[in-house]
Amino acid sequence: MKPRISVSMEEHFALENALIDYLVAVDGLDDLDQMMDCFTEDAVLDLTGLNLGHYDGADAIRGFFAGVFETMELHMHTMSNFRVTEYSDNDARVYAYVNGMGRSRAGVDVQIYVYYDLRMRRTANGWKISHFYEAPKLLMSETVERAFAD
């Protein structure tokens, strides 16, 4: 992991709030438009670290989250250790630890301890995720795969 770099408080909060917007959307489990507002049109969602696939572009990402919203009954994510690791006027990279908890509609409880490594792009509507990578920070339990089993 790259060390934290210094950015203005305003930029730090704007980038952190963009991640919080994503967490609120994924925890809501009901508004795909709100979810997609977090991403650029050409975004990449890389969940290969969780064995949940790789999705290129808004349509593929929307399809993935439609499946999540259908599969999961409850979600709650908390974030810590947020840091900006790269920054320019229109692009940034951020890193954070996330604890994700949920219950599938089939009754499988899930708890994961992961890190997010995100590339962000400044748009006319604020910072958006252009590349999302998630992988375990601690060992994964088998419940993630069980929750999404066919």
**Residue bearing the bigger pLDDT, 6 or 12:** 12
Alpha-carbon dihedral sign for residues 33, 34, 35, 39: positive
What single-letter amino acid sits at 17?
A: N
C-alpha 7 chain-centroid distance: 22
Q: What is the pLDDT of residues 72-88, one digit of tens each?
A: 999 999 999 999 999 99
The neighbour count for residue 120, using CB atoms within 10 Å, is 25
Given a cut of 90, whether residue 25 has pLDDT beyond it is yes
Alpha helices, H only, 5-150:
9-28, 32-36, 58-71, 143-147
Residue 150 has pLDDT above 70, yes or no: no
pTM here?
0.90
